[in-house]
Structure 1
Amino acid sequence: MLQRIQTVYLLLAAIISGGLIFLFPLWENSEGAPVYANNELMIFIMFISSALLSLVSIFMFKNRKLQFVLGRLNILLNFFLLGVFVYWSLSLSGEVIISKKDIGMFLPIISIVFLVLANKSIKKDEDLVKSVDRLR
């Protein structure tokens, strides 16, 4: 059942977390050079694990409860990634490492939106299956 709407949402979240990080810089350093996610190892690992978690979650369509849990875990990972970005951009006083924030720092927010929509659709499917089972 790959033709469900949550597959589209999870695929979009995987594309955002795994593909757009190479196109959009996270920030510009003090020299004006753009810094991408693959320049920072911890950030790169978190983005790629978020993309892989979304892709694994797509193929867990037979086990909707596990798919829902993986979606929540992915949301938590993206919130942690967003927290790291906020910490780096706000607490580095004195030495200016991040001089200009770019669109790449907001990619986890977009990913979170698609993951929440996917979890909402998964929950709706689970409720539908439960209601049909009650009628039998």
Structure 2
Amino acid sequence: MIQRIQTVYLFLVLLVAGVLPFVFPLWKTDGKDFYFASSLTYSSLFGLSATLALLALLFYQKRQHQFVIDRLNIILNLILLGLFLYRSLNLSGEAANVSEKGIGMFLPFISIVLLVLANRAIKKDEDLVKSVDRLR
């Protein structure tokens, strides 16, 4: 489990989705930081993404299940990224309240990149196992 590179990628996704949203604010409005826990939608999506990453980590013996769970997690992070993009386009048009985007808005993008790398490694492992089975 630990010796495979997709485990490292999935663990990093777990950190990005489960820990870093507590550290980095999503945006600032009037000098106040807005964290993900302030909104039920963002909390549930980040929590679901972290849960899917943990579930994929636990399915290390079933590579097909890992692959499917990672694809679902990519779709979930794309939805989260779309919500952040929608919110950032609405933030830029404010005249009375000065807002700035935070680094937390890029966390789903980092998760997507790591999940794609994990899927690539899972696919490579699956192809290796299939080639060995052919030789038997």
Please report the TM-score for the alignment, with normalisation by the length of structure 2: 0.93
Structure 1 pair 90–120 and aligned structure 2 pair: CA distance change class (3 A):
same
Structure 1 segments unaligned to the other structure (5+ residues): none
Q: Following the alignment from structure 2 to structure 1, what is the Cα–Cα distance between the partners of residues 96 and 64?
A: 45
Q: Is the 8 A contact 1:9 1:115 kept in 2?
A: yes
Residue matched to 1:15: 15
Deviation at 1:32, TM superposition (A): 1.3
Bigger CA drift: 16-25 or 89-98?
89-98
Q: How does 1:32-47 map to 2 (within 5 A)?
A: 32-47=31-46
1:90-118 deviation digits (Å, cap 9, x = unpaired): 14545766710010000111111111111
Q: Following the alignment from structure 1 to structure 2, what is the Cα–Cα distance between the partners of residues 82 and 70?
A: 18
Deviation at 1:130, TM superposition (A): 0.3
- Number of aligned residues: 135
Bigger CA drift: 44-53 or 85-94?
85-94
Q: How does 1:70-81 map to 2 (within 5 A)?
A: 70-81=69-80
Q: Following the alignment from structure 1 to structure 2, what is the Cα–Cα distance between the partners of residues 116 and 81?
A: 16
Identity of paired residues, percent? 56
Q: Is the 8 A contact 1:6 1:117 kept in 2?
A: yes
Q: Following the alignment from structure 1 to structure 2, what is the Cα–Cα distance between the partners of residues 75 and 98?
A: 32
Q: How does 1:1-136 map to 2 (within 5 A)?
A: 1-29=1-29, 31-91=30-90, 93-94=93-94, 99-136=99-136
Task: State the superposition RMSD in angstroms.
Answer: 1.5
Structure 2 segments unaligned to the other structure (5+ residues): none
Structure 1 pair 98–5 and aligned structure 2 pair: CA distance change class (3 A):
farther
Structure 1 pair 8–96 and aligned structure 2 pair: CA distance change class (3 A):
farther
